[in-house]
Chain A
């Protein structure tokens, strides 16, 4: 589906309603009451969003846990599985406690994070509703809470790969609670919070020249940053935090001196494949409705990943003479990461190009750059998630252009929403700003948190423990008893 950027407001309203099966233009209700919202809920949307939520949970347990677990040595397998399982569980609790409120309530003049009015889900019940991207289309608020919760669960879990095999369990959990609170919830707010399509227009304040001086949105949303499913919030955010951790903790004992080959690439393959399946919930679910754009995100997620997996295998064939399974799986994940911010904006063909580009860039990072700089990012969280996320975030500016078959953007500051005029260069600058802010915020705060925890309660186990393996030393069990 292609939007013209020069359609008039009335016509675009009709296009919108045809797209979303919303009531016809004339019937659209501005700022509907909760009772009116109850009539604007579609069972198909609700079903899809609940299924998507379960799919995204599957991405962290077991998919990410197995993907990472297979890559470590036998003696540390359980430590990785346990870290992922516990981070997901703790993040779910923190999300209900204050995360949802910090991320998705209005901060008023503060565009960095929301308030605490919905702490412990105060005021949320089966009869409250959350906005989608279409005028007069709502989903039950619990559905939105749980969908976004799965994102808050997987993002911190991504970080642990960067310093796998050399971190203490409980101090890591403490880091995660702090990181979610200081970095993740504000990032989610800055990128994804807005008053919603039926309410935003009423919050807009303009100066004499017609420039918007205030609207009820998060900071990056207000800049016009495009991030469909979490390139900045999830992948760059987690990737740079991982690098900070890897640098503060230092290299694994014996890094580069003794072999540290993955103990089970079979597990890694199972994990990567489940990630791909779950990612349909992540990306296509991020449309918040079940419609044509959902299918756009779905097919883009499919083909970008396929292209990236093929590209990585071809690169390895050319450079090493053999295509490795780990390489192809890494390519698939890099493709998934890159398409994430672009999934609902790109076209299938531009998604394929994005997939090829991200594999080339990430391959270069995890092989050449990592070895040159000498940091020990155990499982390439920085090289794949952060770098892949940056490729995706910047690439979104290009592939979202309607001139290239992209979906463009909608201007929700007017009611009903109209298609915005697309400016690729301007969008690229905005994306660059969003990437820079994420790198500085998450990288900076993470480095400080890691440093302080390391210097106070200690983050790194003793060399003796590291040599014996974290499974026995930290958890008192072994992954394989035979």
Chain B
């Protein structure tokens, strides 16, 4: 099993979700996050006070998937979240040791 973590632009969330649903992905976890990479922050001005925020708002998507689907999940996110501009985000893939469905106690692939 793999855990796919994608940091994407917030407005791309719907496209990513649709692309993953089309693959048969049954669920995902979404978090609003802030961070920085190569993309520069924005400048905010309140009367005379100028703040340059170097943290940019992003969405973190987490998807647990079977090993054989992981490649296509990564590909689907990479294509659906892509705008070609700097700041499109990153995808990380981690090994998952165990998965349990709380309601039934089923484990691993069946639990995903």
Contact = CB atoms under 8 A, between A and B. Distances in A.
A367 B48 contact: yes
Interface string B27-54: 0000000000000000011111101010
A261 B46 contact: yes
A366 B44 contact: no
A231 B81 CA distance: 57
Chain B interface size, as a band, is under 10
Contacts of A370: 48
Nearest to B53: A259
Nearest to A368: B48
Interface string A361-397: 0000011101100000000100000000000000000
A366 B46 contact: no
Contact of B51 (A259, A327, A366, A371): A259
Interface string A223-262: 0000000000000000000000000000000000001111
A320 interface: yes
A330 interface: yes
A261 B51 contact: yes
A327 B53 contact: no
B83 to A, nearest CB: 23
A259 B45 CA distance: 11
Contacts of B45: 320, 322, 324
A406 to B, nearest CB: 32
A270 interface: no
A106 B50 CA distance: 51
- The residue in B46, B47, B48, B49 that gathers the most chain A C-beta atoms within 10 A of its C-beta is B47
A260 B47 contact: no
A189 to B, nearest CB: 35
A223 B47 CA distance: 37
A370 B51 CA distance: 16
B47 A367 contact: yes
Chain A interface size, as a band, is 10 to 19
Dominant SS among interface residues on chain A: helix
A326 interface: yes
A326 B45 CA distance: 9
Contacts of B46: 261-262, 324, 326
Contacts of B49: 260-261
A366 B53 contact: no
A261 B47 contact: no
A326 B44 contact: no
Nearest to A379: B47
Nearest to B52: A259
Contacts of B48: 366-368, 370-371
A371 B46 CA distance: 13
Nearest to A262: B46
B54 to A, nearest CB: 11
Given A326-B47, A366-B48, 20 more contacts: A259-B51, A259-B53, A260-B49, A261-B44, A261-B46, A261-B49, A261-B51, A262-B46, A320-B45, A322-B45, A324-B45, A324-B46, A326-B46, A327-B47, A330-B47, A367-B47, A367-B48, A368-B48, A371-B48, A380-B47
Interface of B: 44-49, 51, 53
24 contacts: A259-B51, A259-B53, A260-B49, A261-B44, A261-B46, A261-B49, A261-B51, A262-B46, A320-B45, A322-B45, A324-B45, A324-B46, A326-B46, A326-B47, A327-B47, A330-B47, A366-B47, A366-B48, A367-B47, A367-B48, A368-B48, A370-B48, A371-B48, A380-B47
A-B residue pairs, 8 tightest by C-beta: A367-B48, A259-B51, A366-B47, A366-B48, A371-B48, A320-B45, A370-B48, A261-B46
